[in-house]
């Protein structure tokens, strides 16, 4: 069901993109904005792992640094029939983790120093299983597609707003409809694109939770980990950016509260835990 929902939301993003393109007018302008957005996201897609890992000062781990971590990961990669991802350590006390890389052959899993201190061996295994599920499901590819279309929508809306300011509104007398309706649509379209993008991210989190529970061998490993991570992430701040918050297993911005939680890329923790515990019944 989540896969169907993701496909529907991606289609909705595309339709919204075409709709905004119509408001801007002219196929040339629409294609320019779309190609420019694709070019930006193309670079981000192929270099996303290096960019994000460097952003969080992550250091690559060797087996000698933590043999137990490597053993757990190798056990689950064999179970999932995946290549072994590179492992990284982030110098942050907030317990958290994320996966990155454009495909299973170019993947990496990063864990914080805080998560290594907070979780038991079983709980850590559940978290690693969750991140491997993201790699298995190619969630980074889906996220990149969503970001590409959503970014193009925002760019087109900005171009259209400037065109209205300097171009005097409608392009020619053949156009119909209220200019106020057009302006309202151009304001609301980027917000709608952002909400759709967040809905896609939330759907992928549920799938990763389910996959992580199966790979780790016990749903309670991950549900117990999520409870701890949810509590600790609200107590310990992390210098994270909203643009990358969706990558983490729990939002690194959870402790900020207010409007940040309103636009969270993660499903409610209570629902995630309830779904995992239902798997054990």
Tokens read off for 155? 């760019």
Which pLDDT value is given to residue 227?
Answer: 97
How far apart are the C-alpha atoms of 31 and 261, rounded to whole Å? Answer: 35
Which pLDDT value is given to residue 225?
Answer: 98
Q: Which residue, 54, 110, 101, 63, is CA-closest to 82? A: 101
User: Partners of 88 in the beta sheet?
Assistant: 60, 110
Residue range 5-38, pLDDT digits in tens = 556 666 666 666 666 666 656 566 566 666 666 6
How far apart are the C-alpha atoms of 277 and 272, rounded to whole Å? Answer: 9
- Check 131, 205, 210, 270 and give the catalytic one: 131
Number of residues in the chain: 281
E strand spans, the chain: 59-60, 86-90, 97-100, 108-112
What is the per-residue DSSP string for 114-153? HHHHHS-HHHHHHHHHHHHHHHHTTHHHHHHHHHHHHHHH
Helix (H, G, I), strand (E, B) or coil at 112: strand
- The pairing of beta strand 108-112 with beta strand 59-60: unpaired
Which pLDDT value is given to residue 259?
Answer: 47
* pLDDT less than 70: residues of the chain: 1-38, 40-41, 44, 141, 143-200, 243, 254-265, 281
Which pLDDT value is given to residue 212?
Answer: 96
Which pLDDT value is given to residue 71?
Answer: 97
Residue range 206-251, pLDDT digits in tens = 999 999 999 999 999 999 999 999 999 999 989 887 767 888 999 8
Q: Tell me the pTM.
A: 0.76
**Is 113 designated active site?**
no
Residue 100 φ/ψ, nearest 5 degrees: -145, 175
Which pLDDT value is given to residue 253?
Answer: 84
Tokens read off for 26? 């002219």
Share of the chain above pLDDT 70, in %: 59
Crossing angle (nearest 10°) for helices 121-136 and 139-167: 60
Residue with tokens 């939770």: 209
User: Partners of 99 in the beta sheet?
Assistant: 109
Q: Which residue, 152, 247, 206, 154, is CA-closest to 6? A: 206
How far apart are the C-alpha atoms of 264 and 242, rounded to whole Å? Answer: 9
Kindly state the helix (H) or strand (E) to which residue 213 belongs, with its residue range.
helix 179-216
Tokens read off for 86? 């590179």
Taking a C-beta distance cutoff of 8 angstroms, is the pair 215, 132 a contact?
A: yes
What are the C-alpha distances in Å from 107 to residues 25, 43, 50, 132, 241? 40, 16, 10, 9, 21
């Amino acid at each position: 069901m989540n896969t169907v929902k993701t496909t529907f939301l991606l289609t909705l993003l595309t339709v919204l993109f075409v709709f905004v393109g119509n408001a801007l007018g002219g196929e040339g302008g629409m294609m320019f904005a779309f190609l420019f957005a694709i070019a930006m996201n193309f670079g981000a897609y192929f270099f996303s792992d290096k960019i994000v890992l460097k952003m969080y000062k992550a250091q690559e781990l060797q087996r000698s640094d933590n043999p137990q971590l490597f053993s757990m990961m190798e056990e689950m990669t064999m179970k999932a029939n995946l290549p072994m991802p590179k492992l990284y350590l982030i110098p942050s006390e907030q317990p958290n983790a994320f996966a990155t890389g454009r495909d299973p052959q170019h993947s990496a899993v990063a864990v914080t120093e805080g998560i290594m201190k907070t979780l038991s061996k079983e709980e850590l295994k559940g978290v690693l299983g969750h991140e491997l599920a993201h790699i298995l499901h190619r969630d980074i590819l889906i996220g990149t597609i969503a970001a590409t279309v959503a970014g193009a929508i925002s760019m087109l809306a900005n171009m259209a707003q400037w065109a209205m300011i300097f171009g005097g509104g409608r392009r020619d007398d053949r156009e119909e409809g209220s200019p106020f309706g057009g302006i309202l649509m151009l304001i609301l379209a980027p917000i709608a694109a952002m909400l759709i993008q967040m809905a896609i991210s939330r759907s992928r989190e549920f799938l990763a939770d389910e996959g992580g529970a199966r790979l780790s061998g016990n749903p309670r490993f991950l549900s117990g980990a999520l409870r701890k991570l949810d509590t600790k992430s609200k107590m310990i701040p992390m210098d994270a950016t909203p643009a990358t918050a969706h990558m983490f297993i729990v939002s690194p911005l959870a402790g900020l509260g207010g409007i940040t939680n309103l636009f969270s890329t993660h499903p409610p923790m209570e629902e995630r835990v309830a779904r995992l515990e239902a798997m054990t019944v």
